[in-house]
Amino acid sequence: MAKHDTPLLDELEKGPWPSFVTDMKRQAETKPECWDILGQLELSYEDKITHWKHGGIVGVFGYGGGIVGRYSDVPDRFPGVEHFHTVRVNQPSGLYYSTENLRGLMDLWEKYGSGMTNMHGSTGDMVLLGTRTENLEPLFWDLTHDLGQDLGGSGSNLRTPSCCLGESRCQWACYDTQEICHHLTLHYQDEIHRPAFPYKFKFKFSGCPNDCVAAIARSDFAVIGTWKDEIQIDQAMVKEYMAGNIPSNAGAHSGRDWGPFDIQKEVIDLCPTECMWMEGDELKIDNAECTRCMHCINVMPRALAPGKERGATICIGAKAPILDGAQFATMIIPFIEISADNEFENVIDVIEKIWDWWMEVGKNRERVGETMQRVGLPTFLSVMEVDPIPQHVKEPRSNPYVFWKEEEVPGGWERDIVEFRKRHAA
């Protein structure tokens, strides 16, 4: 494959941020296909439009996902990207890698692919970017036999679950996000690899309400760590913060002089529920009023910590805008214990209640959040066998259009108009 002139892309070699163009040129020295990636991208920069054809169903035998087909619409000019299929490889929970494993994957991709990757795709998979159809089966063979790992999901199936790094390096994790993510990924291999759902379904596990994996915005099934007892307070450390001996927010604001730390202004007055106050030099919290937002804990991580009775809140039904607008996940289960001791069977029960129903009533390409909207939250709660509580809504409805059921009304709905007219002349 010939080198192409790329005057537009060359402009992206300038500037302080690392340049993917420079990187791709380096890779092209040993993987000449990269010249054709650059060449076709340069053409898109000239034409201001994509040069990839629509779709192309390719994959490996027995799987309905994990490979995304892609073909160039200018293959004669750029034969190195005539086929440019993506391979999604399921990432380890928490995105940690041994260099041994990463090097093995890179050797595999040098053998079969373009040499370019995304670390990582939006759902969490490692993305190996660009290979030919005839390479897919040999690549899958080597991936499973030599490296002992597997593809992730694509299409109308369970997408590759993902999690924040959790207890591995964060003091705020309220459960072991990596363990449940890994366990359920293995438990649901069939659902990941063989599409059987109305549309995609995503699990994301965040260890605390800071939600570093964006579960509430991006997943159909969001498990967000929380606690049910009292925020732990170390009063001696509160005094250290107040004395200015420890920077607020772990030092996250140290690039600007915001003045001396002011616990009233920075913590107590910013508490959304106003449930904190000073009593002498002691910080007090009315935990019954706390909504566990994390702000005070974020600001004073050495003085405050989540409670000891930890678990998670389950929110259901987030999605991006296509079609009826973006949705955040709706809080359905206020608190659930998350424990490997029962192999997460209580969480699995919740998941399968959703699936059993959604697989029956969900329309083609309807995310579960859209199905929930279509049938209404009261119906969804009854499907989930969850009693409605005020916590399920921001506020009660303001219209009076209640869908009463016949059995809720004394005497039922069957009435006789003749009897009625005997007492009420028309």
CB of residue 241 to other proteins, shortest distance in Å:
12
Give me the DSSP letters along 157-186. Answer: SBPPPEE--GGGT-TT-SS-HHHHHHHHHH
- Residue 294 makes contact with other proteins by CB under 8 A: yes
**Of 76, 236, 260, 272, which one interacts with other proteins (CB under 8 A)?**
272
- Residue 383 makes contact with other proteins by CB under 8 A: no
Residue 404's CB: how many other CB atoms inside 10 A?
A: 8
Between CA 189 and CA 158 the distance in angstroms is 9
**Of 4, 83, 200, 295, which one interacts with other proteins (CB under 8 A)?**
295
- Residue 168 makes contact with other proteins by CB under 8 A: yes
Which residues ranging from 99 to 118 are in contact with other proteins (CB under 8 A)? 99-103, 106, 109-110, 115-118
CB of residue 28 to other proteins, shortest distance in Å:
9
Per-residue contact track with other proteins, 68 to 87, x per CB under 8 A? --x-------------x-x-
CB of residue 165 to other proteins, shortest distance in Å:
7
Give Rg (Cα) of the chain.
Answer: 27
Which residues ranging from 172 to 231 are in contact with other proteins (CB under 8 A)? 173, 176, 178, 182, 185-186, 189-190, 193, 209-214, 216-218, 224
387: Cβ–Cβ under 8 A, 6 or more apart, which residues?
381
Cβ proximity to other proteins: between 140 and 358 the closer is 140
Tokens of 373: 């909207």
CB of residue 118 to other proteins, shortest distance in Å:
5
- Residue 12 makes contact with other proteins by CB under 8 A: yes
415: Cβ–Cβ under 8 A, 6 or more apart, which residues?
none
Helix (H) or strand (E) holding 279, with range, is strand 276-279
Nearest to 210 by CA among 176, 172, 167: 172
Between CA 158 and CA 152 the distance in angstroms is 9
Query: Which stretch in 133-141, 275-283, 339-347, 398-406 sits in contact with other proteins by CB under 8 A?
Result: 133-141
Cβ proximity to other proteins: between 19 and 379 the closer is 19
Long-range CB contact pairs, 341-348, < 8 A, 24+ = 343/183, 344/180, 344/183, 344/184, 347/180, 347/184, 347/223, 347/314, 348/184, 348/187
Tokens of 207: 């260890």
CB of residue 58 to other proteins, shortest distance in Å:
14
Between CA 102 and CA 100 the distance in angstroms is 6
CB of residue 349 to other proteins, shortest distance in Å:
21
**Of 39, 64, 130, 195, which one interacts with other proteins (CB under 8 A)?**
130
CB of residue 205 to other proteins, shortest distance in Å:
12
